Amino acid sequence: MIDDFAVVIGVAALVALSLLSAGHSLVFKRDPRSALGWIVICLTIPLMGPLFYWSMGVNRISRRARTWLESGRRLSDPELFNSEIDQSTATALPPGAEYLSELRRLSDRVVSIPLVTGNRIVPLENGEEAYPAMIEAIAGARRSVHLSTYIFDSDDAGRRFMGVLADAVARGVDVRVIIDGLGEKYSLPRARTLMEGTGIQVARFLPLRQGVYMNLRNHRKMLIIDGERAFAGGMNIGDRHLVERPVPSVVKDLHFSVEGPVVGELQQIFLEDWYFVSGELLDSKHHFPVVAPAGRAIVRAIGDGPDKEFRKLFLILMGALSCATRSVQIMTPYFIPDRALVAALVTTALRGVEVTLILPGKNNLPFVNWASRSYLWELLQQGIRVFYQPPPFVHTKLFIVDGLWSLIGSANLDPRSLRLNFELNLEVYDREFSGTLAKHVAGVLGRSREVTLAEMDSRPLPEKLRDGVAKLFSPYL
């Protein structure tokens, strides 16, 4: 009798758990397909279905990140920094770009930082161009050096940076470095360990001892010198970016030298992160000198992450696609779009806009490459041109619209960058700069292989099944 009662209680508990889990999915899942899938799993697989849902199906990323924001561990009020950026310096868009005013209006709504004019941005190709310029800037610093990177290797390139940073400290310069808690583990000994005793102030973004957070990583890469000059893009620090050296796992990339008032916006984003990782609030005007105009580019810094109210980069990309009239050129190492982005790309192509997607022929993450391949058939069918760059692995991220507007920075076109990690990008209205990027793209296309619809159709069945299985895990890659 007691055994029968225990069985009834157990069954009732399992049914209650299944109903609770299914109800939670019904109420909180925005995508009806996702909600239906989880409801079926919760109701048809006793115990394991609900457990799988609560461990994998509940998005705790935004909730946890916003809790940090609300608790004051992250800052959202630009006034707190007494920034010297003049809100009125965002002038009219460049001649011929007036039709992009709706894109600008969208960005104004989702990004609190304004567009500012008077900037100059110069591409730097691979570590051979970027590292000497960055090291020279650090060597000339007078007041402060602020460096944030996802990976800081302890190889030859990393040690050169450590040496010049230590020399800056010896000159009396305040040097602060943020390294991601997961990214620092890419090399041994840790760069942070080697900087101990040098006077360099080093802080980790979410050390793994605080929890196993494979997501919520700080993927931003920026260097700010004296609050007057900066570097930003997609390049980490390490020998892997020195493509002319015989090192394993070579990675090609673009980084960018940044001059002009937008440097103050990068400084603000760094100091928000510094307050988060160290608890030190640096809100003095000392950190925000007035920066003289250096060029004609109109630029906005976009710091995005799961703690924000909007998915800023995603919305801006969607807006850019909807405004494009002639061409869209996309270069990204990781391409795992959601259905909305796929629809936007296809719609843009069907409107008569020439859409070109450039991916690495050799990817350092095979599973991601397989998932990406599963999306190409649909794009090719609708007239989007797809190219594979030859090895070595290319880590460059570019998004160019009509040769007038461009988006550069750290974000990839995948769920991790657009939903889970903290990213830093610059949107740029400047025909000359976009033209420079377009020339780079043209050179890449000349070396690349175009992917055809026939090639996708002729894949062996095992490859199609492999790519399809990888696609199932797209939201988690």
- Please provide the size of the chain in residues: 477
Please tell me the distance from the alpha carbon of residue 250 to that of residue 111, in angstroms, as a whole number.
Answer: 35
| 254-259 and 116-125 strand pairing | antiparallel
Q: What is the pLDDT of residue 177?
A: 98
Can you give the C-alpha Rg of the chain in angstroms?
A: 24
Q: Best-predicted range by mean pLDDT among 14-28, 142-156, 237-251, 356-370?
A: 142-156
Per-residue pLDDT tens over the stretch 264-273: 999 999 999 9
pLDDT higher than 80, residue 10: no
Q: What is the pLDDT of residue 14?
A: 82
Q: Best-predicted range by mean pLDDT among 8-22, 80-94, 260-274?
A: 260-274
Fold exhibited by the domain 81-94+122-292 = Endonuclease; Chain A (3.30.870)
Query: Which DSSP helix (H) or strand (E) runs through 461?
Result: helix 461-472
Which is more confident, 232 or 248?
Answer: 232
**What value does the mean pLDDT of the chain take?**
88
Q: 202: which DSSP letter? A: E
Name the band, by pLDDT with cuts 50, 70 and 90, for residue 120. very high
Per-residue pLDDT tens over the stretch 383-401: 999 999 999 999 999 999 9
Structural domain boundaries in the chain: 2-58, 81-94+122-292, 312-476
What are the start-end ranges of the H helices in 59-177? 61-70, 101-110, 126-139, 156-170
Neighbours of 159 (CB within 10 A): 14
Whether 81-94+122-292 and 312-476 share one fold: the answer is yes
The residue-averaged pLDDT of 115-121 equals 96
pLDDT higher than 70, residue 222: yes
pLDDT higher than 80, residue 203: yes
Tokens 């583990």 locate to 185
Per-residue pLDDT tens over the stretch 162-188: 999 999 999 999 999 999 988 888 888
Q: What is the pLDDT of residue 55?
A: 63
Residue 434 token pair: 């976009």
pLDDT higher than 90, residue 72: no
Residue 383 token pair: 């007239």
- Within 8 A by CB and 6+ apart from 124, the residues are 130, 133, 231, 233, 254, 255, 256, 257
Please tell me the distance from the alpha carbon of residue 203 to that of residue 5, in angstroms, as a whole number.
Answer: 56
31-39: long-range contacts, CB 8 A cutoff, minimum separation 24 = none
Chain centre to alpha carbon of residue 112: 18
Name the band, by pLDDT with cuts 50, 70 and 90, for residue 43. confident
Name the band, by pLDDT with cuts 50, 70 and 90, for residue 33. low
- Within 8 A by CB and 6+ apart from 15, the residues are none
Q: How many CA atoms lie within 13 A of 227 on its CB side?
A: 23
For domain 312-476, the question of CATH label 3.30.870.10 is answered with yes
pLDDT higher than 70, residue 327: yes
Per-residue pLDDT tens over the stretch 398-429: 999 999 999 999 999 998 888 888 999 999 99
pLDDT higher than 90, residue 211: no
Please tell me the distance from the alpha carbon of residue 208 to that of residue 185, in angstroms, as a whole number.
Answer: 10
Q: What is the pLDDT of residue 209?
A: 63
Are 412 and 280 within 8 A, CB to CB? no
Q: What is the pLDDT of residue 71?
A: 54
| 449-451 and 423-429 strand pairing | unpaired
Query: Which DSSP helix (H) or strand (E) runs through 302?
Result: strand 297-304
The residue-averaged pLDDT of 73-96 equals 55
Backbone angles phi, psi at 456, to 5 degrees: -65, -40
pLDDT higher than 60, residue 85: no
Q: What is the pLDDT of residue 70?
A: 54
Q: Which of 341, 326, 145 lies closest to 229, judged by CA?
A: 145
pLDDT higher than 50, residue 57: yes
Predicted TM-score (pTM) of this structure = 0.86
For residue 218, the cross-strand partners are 422
- Within 8 A by CB and 6+ apart from 49, the residues are 18, 21, 41, 42, 43
pLDDT higher than 60, residue 136: yes
Q: What is the pLDDT of residue 415?
A: 86
Q: Which of 396, 373, 408, 205 lies closest to 297, judged by CA?
A: 408
Residue 150 token pair: 């996802």
For helices 101-110 and 312-323, give the axis angle rounded to 10 degrees.
170
